[in-house]
């Protein structure tokens, strides 16, 4: 049996009539196979690990449970209350709750010898136990109404007269607010469901923010997702604001208060291995003695090896991968914690079929041992090797860093032409041009229904325009910026037009002799580990990867005239090396294919680490090559390439293209010679030669731009040569381990 189409009617209506509300609230309801499997596994846990023979249908009281297992009664529960108290904190139209009712009915039916006895016990359970045992919270009244209809229909179909259908406690409200839990009273021991998926969470109330940090008005000694093993997380951006994290915290809070219980969620699988979620993982591991995780993958932005061999789909109509996640804390003491993991790739239907038909132990067939400091909950990233930990984190060697600049409006404040940029800013200053005209021209698509087009919570068009008009030096605000690899542009540098200018550390890059290393934490698992570059001007977000999955980090060599190096980390024979020399050595190391390949798994997890050699000759040779790379990547004007006649035609749609050793900007117009190796060369996610021209489609290149492009080709060719030389030196000196003193 499965629920009929009516169970999904509300989601379909919302998708059709209010798609933005559906996205904002993360309303993507659960396939029956997932709800059924989670419920059946919770039922099995209660039978096996809690000695509750009737599972979800068990009506044993807290008093009897505590007496049987010799437990202390939790302060918030009534001893006469049933131990099994079920809560779905984001019920939707009730697919999980219907699955619970089905499981309870099945348990009662299978435990009875005669049909008459089964019917009597079922009716007694529905009348006396169900109203106090099954609870839900839902924000949308229409969904609640639909659930009540489904529940009534289920109960009537299973022998409960219409007049005897009890009211099921479904509270209309927000499970991320405290008042709704006061109505619930005592804590739940079973929390299940499919919490909303919304990274841009609007649930920013004080109660849930404090709960994430282990505090409520009643207690300051709860679990804190912002620390692991007592150590506060140091990152500036932790990405713990997603609604699914908050719902998981609420679920864990219920089990904290009850001391024992089970959570069964299907949620975003990012918590399994996102580095900044290690506090969350630590708190789960510290509380629960049995954890089962089935990663269903399906993330359109995160591809693993298996997904490249087959079509991989999400089990929901979204691009986000998910995991079935079960956490239980049993009153029966266990000798050893169990953490099991499994994963599935492929079409949606095959995943759902396996969930419905396969034995659970076959689905989660790997035992893993999460280890500090990250406590990863997936085997492919279950530990950082001992040898990698011998290296120095690059952000400790160059201790002051900052995320790259996020303007939030690149198309307005960044340009390849100073004149065009100033003219655009002048439009914003012009009182003769209305706000509505500017919005129509520059902000055709509003970001949010909460604000007029172009406006955000922290930026308002009228205020920005007023600030520009009041600036007597407005024409002097243009600075150079590193926009993409080998693509320096002009930026209008004023806080009234830029959301995240990044303060003192980034301002150091405005100095004449500035130089900084650009790196990325957590390189994508489906790409080579080539996310390294240098800049000598303001560095813009997207320099290495143009998406919304985190920023690059800039590490300036000097700030305010003082070098940004922790020399205490240097061995004695390198104590006096120059700052430029040290950066050059580090840069050469990061451009070693041996380094990138050997430590690929770790570069996908954390910041790169630096291995300082025990032999001065290794340092000297690599530093010299690294210095050459830095000069090449800063587009040193000394590079001269053989020029082809500059075509006076615009770059055509669908171009550039590469064929026969030439780069073509129209079907009939070649621009430059470049071999395939240079054409395919990537820095970060950018295919450099293609990206530079693609960003200028429709434009006629100037002679200076053509000359620059030819220098870029030469720089890439020389970069490949130097990379080979770096690896040859390392190989000649005994390989990475011997050359770099890795034991």
- Residue ending a domain, among 476, 499, 515, is 476
**Is 269 within 8 Å of 376 (Cβ atoms)?**
no
* Beta pairing partners, 480: 490
| Phi, psi angle pair for 52, to nearest 5° | -100, 100
Q: Are 325 and 372 in contact (CB under 8 A)?
A: no
Separation of alpha carbons 627 and 386, rounded Å: 30
The pLDDT, as a whole number, for residue 733 is: 87
pLDDT at 636 over 80: no
481 to 1, 534, 538, 630, 660: CA distances (angstroms)? 61, 12, 4, 16, 34
Q: How far is CA 239 from CA 231, 656, 676, in A?
A: 18, 37, 39
CA distance 79 to 66: 9
CB 518 within 8 A of CB 552: yes
Residue 582 pLDDT exceeds 60: yes
Is residue 716's pLDDT more than 70? Answer: yes
User: Which strand (E) or helix (H) includes residue 422?
Assistant: helix 418-429
Q: In angstroms, rounded to a whole number, what is the distance separating the alpha carbons of residues 322 and 298?
A: 7
DSSP state of 666: S
Annotate 377-414 with three-state secondary structure.
CCHHHCCCCCCHHHCEEHHHHCCCCEECEECCCHHHHE
Residues 104/56, Cβ–Cβ less than 8 Å: yes
Mean pLDDT of the chain: 90
Whether residue 95 sits in one domain with residue 187: yes
Query: Which residue from 628, 537, 541, 539 is spatially nearest to 584, judged by alpha carbons?
Result: 628
Most confident region among 143-147, 299-303, 384-388 by mean pLDDT: 143-147
Smallest CA-to-CA distance from 251 within 220, 228, 283, 227 is with: 283
Residue 493 falls inside a structural domain: no
| CATH number of 242's domain | 3.40.50.150
Strand partners, 659: 662
316 in the same domain as 463: no
The span from the CA of 126 to the CA of 140, in Å, is 26
Count CB neighbours of 424 within 10 A. Answer: 17
Range from 170-184, 229-243, 638-652 carrying the lowest mean pLDDT: 638-652
The pair of structure tokens assigned to 14 is 């919302």
Domain termination site, one of 456, 476, 496: 476
- Phi-psi group of 629: left, alpha or beta (phi > 0 → left; psi -120 to 50 → alpha; rest → beta): alpha
Residue 430 has pLDDT above 50, yes or no: yes
pLDDT, position 210? 95
Residue 739: in which H helix or E strand, if any?
helix 735-740
* Alpha carbon distance 288, 336 (integer Å): 11
How far is the C-alpha of 419 from the C-alpha of 184, rounded, in Å? 63
Tens of pLDDT, residue by residue over 246-293, are 999 999 999 999 999 999 999 999 999 888 899 999 999 999 999 999
Q: Is residue 397 part of a domain?
A: no
**One domain, residues 182 and 36:** yes
Residue 661 placed within a domain: no
Q: Do residues 436 and 313 both lie within one domain?
A: no
Q: Is 547 exposed, middle or buried (0-12, 13-18, 19+ CB in 10 A)?
A: exposed
Instruction: Kindly report, residue by residue over 320-371, the tens digit of the pLDDT.
Output: 899 999 999 999 987 789 999 999 999 999 999 999 999 999 999 999 999 8
| 51 found inside a domain | yes
Return the SS3 of 64.
helix
Instruction: Please report, for residues 505, 520, 567, the alpha-carbon distance to residue 235 in angstroms, rounded to integers and kept in the order given.
Output: 16, 13, 23
DSSP 184-252: H-SPPSEEEE-----SS-----HHHHHHHTT-BTTBS-S--TTEETTEEP--S-----SHHHHHHHHHH
pLDDT grade, residue 24 (50/70/90)?
A: very low
Please tell me whether residues 218 and 312 are part of one structural domain: yes
CB-CB contact of 86 with 190 (8 Å): yes
Clarify whether residues 370 and 419 are in a common domain.
Answer: no
What is the pLDDT at residue 307?
Answer: 42
* 633 in any annotated domain: no
- CA 507 – CA 514 distance, rounded (Å): 10
137 shares its domain with 36: yes
From 13-22, 556-565, 646-655, the region with the lowest mean pLDDT: 13-22
- pLDDT above 60 (res 6): no
Please report whether residue 392 resides in a domain.
no
Same domain as 351, residue 224: yes
Read off the tokens for 347. 């079409």
pLDDT at 383: 46
H helices present in 57-160, as ranges: 62-69, 95-111, 115-124, 130-133, 141-157
Using DSSP, state whether 597 is helix, strand or coil: helix
Tens of pLDDT, residue by residue over 77-132, are: 999 999 999 999 999 889 999 999 999 999 999 987 688 899 999 999 999 999 99
Token pair in block for residue 738:
């011997």
Residue range 172-200: mean pLDDT, rounded: 92
pLDDT surpasses 80 at 503 = yes
Mean pLDDT of 522-547: 91
Q: What is the DSSP letter of 49?
A: H
The reply to whether 303 and 418 lie within a common domain is no
Q: Which of 459, 476, 493 is the last residue of a domain?
A: 476
Structure tokens at 361: 């132990």
Please check whether residue 184 lies inside any domain of the structure.
Answer: yes
Q: How confident is the model at residue 450 (pLDDT cuts 50, 70, 90)?
A: confident
Residues 264, 328, single domain; the answer is yes
Among 352-356, 641-645, 739-743, top mean pLDDT goes to 352-356
DSSP string, 689-728: HHHHHHTTTTPBPPHHHHHHHHHHHHHHHHHHHHHHHHHH
Q: Give the integer Cα–Cα distance in Å for 642 and 168.
A: 79
SS3 171: strand
**Whether 350 and 424 share a structural domain:** no
User: Domain residues for 429?
Assistant: 410-476
Do 74 and 181 sit in the same domain of this protein?
Answer: yes
* DSSP 8-state class, residue 519: E
* Alpha carbon distance 334, 48 (integer Å): 12
Number of domains in the chain: 2
- Structural domain contains residue 71: yes
Nearest-angstrom CA–CA distance, 352 and 100: 19
Buried b (16+ CB within 10 A) or exposed e, 20-41: eebbbbbbbbbbbbbbbbbbbb
Distance of CA 629 to the CA centre of its chain: 32
Mapping DSSP to helix (H, G, I), strand (E, B) and coil, where does residue 607 land?
coil
Residue 388: pLDDT band with limits 50, 70, 90: confident
């Amino acid at each position: 049996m499965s629920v009929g189409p009516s169970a999904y009617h509300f989601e379909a209506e919302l998708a059709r009539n209010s798609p933005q509300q559906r996205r904002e609230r993360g309303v993507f309801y659960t396939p029956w196979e997932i709800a059924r499997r989670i419920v059946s596994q919770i039922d099995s846990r209660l039978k096996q690990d809690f000695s509750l023979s009737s599972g979800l249908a068990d009506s044993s009281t807290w008093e009897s449970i505590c007496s049987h297992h010799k437990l202390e009664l939790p302060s918030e529960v009534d001893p006469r209350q049933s131990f099994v108290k079920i809560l779905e904190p984001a019920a939707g139209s009730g697919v999980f709750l219907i699955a619970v009712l089905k499981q309870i009915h099945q348990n009662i039916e299978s435990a009875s010898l005669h049909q008459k006895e089964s019917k009597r016990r079922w009716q007694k359970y529905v009348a006396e136990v169900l109203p106090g045992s099954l609870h839900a919270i839902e924000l949308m009244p229409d969904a609640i109404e639909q659930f009540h209809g489904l529940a009534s229909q289920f109960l009537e179909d299973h022998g409960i007269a219409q007049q005897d259908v009890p009211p099921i406690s479904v509270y209309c409200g927000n499970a991320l607010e405290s008042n709704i839990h006061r109505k619930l009273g005592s804590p739940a021991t079973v929390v299940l469901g499919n919490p909303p998926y919304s990274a841009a969470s609007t649930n920013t109330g004080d109660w849930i923010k404090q709960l994430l940090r282990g505090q409520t008005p009643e207690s300051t000694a709860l679990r804190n997702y912002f620390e692991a093993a007592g150590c506060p997380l140091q990152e500036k951006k932790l990405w713990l604001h997603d609604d699914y994290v908050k719902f998981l915290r609420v679920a864990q809070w219920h089990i904290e208060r009850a001391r024992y219980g089970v959570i069964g969620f299907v949620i975003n699988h990012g918590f399994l291995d996102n580095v900044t979620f290690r506090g969350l993982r630590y708190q789960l591991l510290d509380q629960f003695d049995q954890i089962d995780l089935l990663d269903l993958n399906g993330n359109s932005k995160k591809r693993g090896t298996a997904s490249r061999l087959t079509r991989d789909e999400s089990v929901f109509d979204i691009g986000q991968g998910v995991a079935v996640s079960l956490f239980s804390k049993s009153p029966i003491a266990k000798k050893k914690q169990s953490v099991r993991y499994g994963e599935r790739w492929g079409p949606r239907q095959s995943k759902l079929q396996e969930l419905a038909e396969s034995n659970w132990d076959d689905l989660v067939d790997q035992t893993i041992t999460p280890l500090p400091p990250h406590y990863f909950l997936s085997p492919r990233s279950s530990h950082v090797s001992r040898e990698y930990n011998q290296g120095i984190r690059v952000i400790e060697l160059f201790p002051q860093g900052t995320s790259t600049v996020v303007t939030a409006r690149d198309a307005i404040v960044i340009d390849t032409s100073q004149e065009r940029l100033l003219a655009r800013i002048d439009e914003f200053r012009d009182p003769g041009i209305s706000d509505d005209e500017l919005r129509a021209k520059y902000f055709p698509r509003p970001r949010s229904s909460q604000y007029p087009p172009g406006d955000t919570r922290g930026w308002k068009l009228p205020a920005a325009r007023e600030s520009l008009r009041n600036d007597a030096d407005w024409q002097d605000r243009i600075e150079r910026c590193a926009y993409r690899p080998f693509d320096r542009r002009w930026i209008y540098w004023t806080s009234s037009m830029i959301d995240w200018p990044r303060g003192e550390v980034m301002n150091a890059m405005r100095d004449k002799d500035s130089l900084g290393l650009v790196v990325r934490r957590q390189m994508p698992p489906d790409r080579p580990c080539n996310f390294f570059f240098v800049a000598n001007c303001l560095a813009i977000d997207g320099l290495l990867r143009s998406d919304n999955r985190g920023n690059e980090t800039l590490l300036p060599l000097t700030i305010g005239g003082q070098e940004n190096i922790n020399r205490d980390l240097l061995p004695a024979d390198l104590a006096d090396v120059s700052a430029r020399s040290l950066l050059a050595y580090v840069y050469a190391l990061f451009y070693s294919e041996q380094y990138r390949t050997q430590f690929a798994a770790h570069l996908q997890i954390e910041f790169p680490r630096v291995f300082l050699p025990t032999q001065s000759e290794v340092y000297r040779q690599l530093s010299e090559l690294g210095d050459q790379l830095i000069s090449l990547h800063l587009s040193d004007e000394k590079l001269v390439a053989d020029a082809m006649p500059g075509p006076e035609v615009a770059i055509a749609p669908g171009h550039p293209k590469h064929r026969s050793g030439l780069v073509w900007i129209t079907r009939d117009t070649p621009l430059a010679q470049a071999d395939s190796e240079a054409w395919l060369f990537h820095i970060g996610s950018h295919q450099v030669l293609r990206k530079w021209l693609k960003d200028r489609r429709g434009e006629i290149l100037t002679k200076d731009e053509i000359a620059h492009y030819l220098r870029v080709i030469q720089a890439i060719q020389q970069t490949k040569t130097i990379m080979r030389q770096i690896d040859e030196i390392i190989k000649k000196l005994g390989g990475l381990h011997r050359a770099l003193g890795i034991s």
